[in-house]
Structure 1
Amino acid sequence: MKNRKLLKYHSYFGLISGVFLLILGISGSILVFSEDLDDLLFKPYEVHHTQQILNLDKAVSTVQQQYPRWEMRIVHFKKGESIRFNLRKLDARRDLFIHPVTCKIIADIDTNSQFTKWLLVLHYSLHGGTLGRILLFFTGILFFLSLLTGIAVYRKLIFKILLFKVGLKRKNKRVFFSTLHRYIGVWALFFNCILAITGIVLSYGVAMGGLKSPKEPNTPNMEISIERSLSQIIEKYPDFKPTYIRLPKKPDAPLIINGIFEMDAFYLSEFFNKFQIDTRTGQVRSVQKISEASILTKIYSMVSPLHYGQYGGIWIKLLYCLIGLSGPFLSISGFVIWKKRRK
Structure 2
Amino acid sequence: MQTKTIRRWSWVHKWTSLISMVFLLLLCITGLPLIFHHEIDHILQEEVEPANLPADTPRANLDVLVKNSMEGFPSQVVQFLIWDRHEPNVIGLSIGEKPDSDPTNNRFLRADAQTGKLLEEVKFRGTFTYIMFKLHVDLFAGLPGKLFLGFMGLLFVIAVISGIVIYGPSMRKLDFGTVRYGRSRFIRWLDLHNLLGVVTIVWALVVGGTGVINTWADLVIKIWQFGQLAEITAQYKDAPIPAQLTSINEAVKIATERLPDKTPSFVAYPGTTFSSKSHYIVFMKGNTPLTSRLVTPVLVNAADGKFSDTRELPWYVKTLLVSQPLHFGDYGGMPLKIIWAILDVLTIIVLITGIYLWFKRRRSSKVAQPAPALAPAE
Provide TM-score, normalisation by structure 2: 0.75
Deviation track 1:35-59 (CA, whole Å, cap 9, x = no partner) reads: 2333445663121243544131112
In the alignment, is the contact (CA less than 8 A) between 1:256 and 1:275 conserved in 2? yes
1:272 and 1:159 map into 2 onto residues whose CA distance is 48
The answer to whether 1:127 aligns with 2:127 is no
Give the one of 9, 16, 20 matched to 1:13. Answer: 16
**Change over 3 Å in CA distance of 1:245–1:36 after alignment to 2:** farther
The answer to whether 1:324 aligns with 2:344 is yes
Match of 2:231 in 1: none
Matched ranges for 1:135-284 at <5 A: 135-156=148-169, 165-170=176-181, 171-206=183-218, 223-249=245-271, 252-262=277-287, 266-268=289-291, 270-284=293-307
Match of 2:66 in 1: 60
Give the CA deviation at 1:184: 0.9
Where in structure 1 are there 5+ consecutive unaligned residues? 211-217
The aligned length equals 329
Match of 2:322 in 1: 302
Where in structure 2 are there 5+ consecutive unaligned residues? 223-239, 365-378
In the alignment, is the contact (CA less than 8 A) between 1:58 and 1:103 conserved in 2? yes
1:152 and 1:235 map into 2 onto residues whose CA distance is 53
Q: Look up the equivalent residue of 2:297 and give its one-letter code.
A: K
- Secondary structure, aligned partner of 1:9: helix
**Change over 3 Å in CA distance of 1:101–1:204 after alignment to 2:** closer
Q: Look up the equivalent residue of 2:167 and give its one-letter code.
A: Y
Give the CA deviation at 1:9: 2.3
2:125 and 2:247 map into 1 onto residues whose CA distance is 31
- Secondary structure, aligned partner of 1:122: helix
In the alignment, is the contact (CA less than 8 A) between 2:255 and 2:282 conserved in 1? no
2:255 and 2:76 map into 1 onto residues whose CA distance is 27
**Change over 3 Å in CA distance of 1:100–1:203 after alignment to 2:** closer
Match of 2:128 in 1: 115
Match of 2:367 in 1: none
1:333 and 1:209 map into 2 onto residues whose CA distance is 38
**Change over 3 Å in CA distance of 1:80–1:269 after alignment to 2:** closer
In the alignment, is the contact (CA less than 8 A) between 1:269 and 1:301 conserved in 2? no
**Change over 3 Å in CA distance of 1:209–1:302 after alignment to 2:** closer
Q: Pairwise CA RMSD of aligned residues?
A: 3.3
Give the CA deviation at 1:29: 1.7
Among the aligned pairs, what percent are the same residue?
22
1:234 and 1:207 map into 2 onto residues whose CA distance is 29
Match of 2:369 in 1: none
Match of 1:213 in 2: none
Match of 1:334 in 2: 354
**Change over 3 Å in CA distance of 1:180–1:77 after alignment to 2:** closer
**Change over 3 Å in CA distance of 1:128–1:223 after alignment to 2:** closer
Give the CA deviation at 1:286: 1.6
Q: Look up the equivalent residue of 2:140 and give its one-letter code.
A: H
1:111 and 1:231 map into 2 onto residues whose CA distance is 31
Q: Tell me which structure has the larger Cα radius of gyration.
A: 2
Question: Which sits farther off after the overlay, 175-184 or 106-115?
Answer: 106-115
Which structure has more relative contact order (CA 8 Å, sep 6+)? It is: 1
Deviation track 1:68-90 (CA, whole Å, cap 9, x = no partner) reads: 45452222379993432123453
Matched ranges for 1:31-70 at <5 A: 31-40=34-43, 44-50=47-53, 52-64=58-70, 66-70=73-77
Give the CA deviation at 1:224: 1.9
Give the CA deviation at 1:337: 1.2
In the alignment, is the contact (CA less than 8 A) between 1:6 and 1:153 conserved in 2? yes
Provide TM-score, normalisation by structure 1: 0.82
Match of 1:72 in 2: 79
Match of 1:81 in 2: 89
Give the CA deviation at 1:209: 8.4
Give the CA deviation at 1:159: 10
1:11 and 1:105 map into 2 onto residues whose CA distance is 55
**Change over 3 Å in CA distance of 1:316–1:48 after alignment to 2:** same
Question: Which sits farther off after the overlay, 152-161 or 192-201?
Answer: 152-161
- Secondary structure, aligned partner of 1:316: helix
Give the CA deviation at 1:137: 1.8
Give the CA deviation at 1:19: 0.5
**Change over 3 Å in CA distance of 1:146–1:117 after alignment to 2:** same
1:139 and 1:32 map into 2 onto residues whose CA distance is 20
Q: Look up the equivalent residue of 1:241 and give its one-letter code.
A: T
Deviation track 1:82-116 (CA, whole Å, cap 9, x = no partner) reads: 43212345352322123446644331233223322
Q: Look up the equivalent residue of 1:205 and give its one-letter code.
A: A
- Secondary structure, aligned partner of 1:73: strand
1:56 and 1:201 map into 2 onto residues whose CA distance is 34
1:148 and 1:30 map into 2 onto residues whose CA distance is 27
Q: Look up the equivalent residue of 1:332 and give its one-letter code.
A: I
**Change over 3 Å in CA distance of 1:7–1:77 after alignment to 2:** closer
